[in-house]
């Protein structure tokens, strides 16, 4: 009889312990989650639907990565980026890319000062915290190349002098699909520097009705007039440091490596993903775990991060492209083929 009572007590204790394990987080992510929900609420006052895209943008901020938004004109790419900048109390600049844009228009140029009899460097619009590059694929390769150093190393070298950009530094670029008139294909080296590529589709019927209703109710008010600021520069940097501490088990690191290596060996892909893609999946998976209030990464976080991280980094073979197979479909096949670690 005593043994049974002891066993019951032991079982109850074990159950309580497992419950505690489930609900005790090693990192305090509640302030981060509150801030994320506030930003979502602010963006939701203007943007209808697009929850997945908003999540991906927030994950990119937490992971300190750049984002490429692709969609046809008029699907709220630019306004989403401007909305996001309104919710963050950081420097914001916008660059409109055109076919005649020069690298100096982005980075800055040396101007001769007659009083001092020397050249003085005038900083360009890239010297900001959040930079919106509108229609990035309308500028030629020469101008695109100007972004290589600043996007990867967050610094600029001009006339032998190195200028380090203030943290946080994030680029949100928008582009129209490559089939559209007057667009250039982005170089692979540049695409590789974007953490995510997010495809924005047309809204569904119910969402379209809601968009029209919201626009009708606005009347004389501007869309962005009542947007509240949620995060400061210091808070963003604090949350980015916090996200880096999220736990990733060794078998999950191996899972990420297997996904990326498979893209290089896949018969349907002409070009696979680089090690930069593996690091991007790792950082993005940590970001997904953080916005869901977990201090550890699960295979689901990795799966969710894999498509937006890999889709622009791989090139489909011409034969498969002619059959209408997209990189997203191939990446989904790779995810399904690789065994999930338990």
Determine the straight-line distance between the first and last CA of the chain, rounded to whole angstroms.
39
As given in the structure block, the two tokens for residue 234 are 């210091």
* Cβ atoms of residues 110 and 158 within 8 Å: yes
Q: For 171, what's the count of Cα atoms within 13 Å in the CB-facing half-sphere?
A: 30
The reported pLDDT for the residue numbered 279 is 92
Q: C-alpha distances in angstroms, 15 versus 7, 11, 20, 70? A: 12, 6, 9, 49
CB 223 within 8 A of CB 214: no
DSSP result, 309-328: HHTTT-EE-HHHHHTT--HH
- Ramachandran area for residue 74 (φ above 0: left; ψ -120 to 50: alpha; else beta): left
Q: What is the pLDDT of residue 180?
A: 64
What is the model's pLDDT at position 278? 92
Strand-pairing partners, residue 170, are 130
Alpha-carbon gap, residue 232 to 247, rounded angstroms: 26
| Cα–Cα nearest to 174, from 262, 97, 110 | 97
Contact at 8 Å (CB) between 289 and 296? yes
Taken in order of first residue, the domains within the chain and their CATH numbers are 27-224 (3.40.50.300), 246-342 (1.10.8.80)
Residues of the chain with pLDDT under 50: 1-3, 5-23
3 state DSSP class of 191: helix
Amino acid 179: pLDDT: 64
Q: Where are the alpha helices (DSSP H) in the chain?
A: 2-23, 30-44, 51-62, 77-87, 103-107, 141-145, 147-153, 188-191, 205-218, 233-244, 250-265, 275-291, 299-310, 318-322, 327-337
pTM over 0.85: no
Q: Is 286 in contact with 240 (CB distance < 8 Å)?
A: no
What's the pLDDT tens digit per position in 284-329?
999 999 888 888 888 888 988 899 999 888 888 888 888 888 888 8
Is there a contact between 113 and 129 (Cβ–Cβ < 8 Å)?
A: no
Residue 1's pLDDT is 47
Beta strands at 130-134 and 92-96: parallel, antiparallel or unpaired:
parallel
The predicted structure's pLDDT at residue 284: 92
In the prediction, which pLDDT does 20 show?
41
Return the pLDDT at 25.
62
């Amino acid at each position: 009889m005593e043994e049974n009572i002891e066993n019951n007590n032991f079982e109850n204790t074990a159950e309580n312990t497992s419950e505690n394990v489930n609900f005790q987080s090693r990192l305090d992510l509640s302030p981060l989650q509150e801030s994320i929900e506030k930003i979502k609420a602010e963006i939701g006052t203007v943007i209808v639907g697009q929850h997945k895209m908003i999540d991906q943008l927030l994950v990119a901020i937490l992971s300190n990565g750049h984002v490429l938004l692709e969609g046809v004109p008029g699907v709220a790419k630019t306004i989403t980026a401007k909305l996001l900048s309104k919710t963050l109390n950081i420097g914001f600049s916008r660059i409109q890319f055109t076919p005649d844009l020069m690298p100096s228009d982005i980075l800055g140029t040396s101007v001769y000062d007659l009083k001092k009899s020397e050249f003085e460097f005038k900083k360009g619009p890239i010297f900001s915290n959040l930079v919106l590059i509108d229609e990035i694929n309308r500028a030629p390769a020469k101008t695109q190349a100007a972004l290589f150093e600043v996007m990867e190393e967050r610094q600029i070298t001009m006339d032998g002098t190195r200028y380090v950009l203030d943290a946080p530094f994030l680029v949100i670029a928008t582009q129209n699909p490559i089939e559209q008139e007057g667009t250039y294909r982005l170089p692979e080296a540049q695409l590789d520097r974007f953490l995510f590529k997010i495809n924005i589709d047309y809204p569904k019927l119910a969402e379209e009705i809601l968009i029209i209703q919201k626009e009708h109710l606005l009347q004389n008010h501007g869309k962005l007039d009542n947007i509240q600021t949620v995060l400061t520069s210091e808070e963003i940097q604090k949350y980015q440091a916090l996200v880096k501490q999220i736990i990733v088990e060794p078998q999950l690191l191996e899972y990420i490596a297997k996904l990326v290596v498979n893209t290089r060996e896949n018969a349907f892909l002409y070009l696979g993903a680089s090690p930069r893609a593996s690091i991007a999946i790792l950082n993005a998976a940590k970001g997904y775990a953080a916005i869901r209030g977990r201090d550890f990464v699960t295979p689901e976080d990795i799966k969710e991060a894999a498509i937006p991280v890999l889709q622009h980094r791989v090139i489909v073979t011409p034969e498969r492209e002619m059959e209408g197979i997209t990189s997203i479909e191939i990446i989904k096949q790779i995810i399904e083929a690789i065994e999930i670690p338990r």
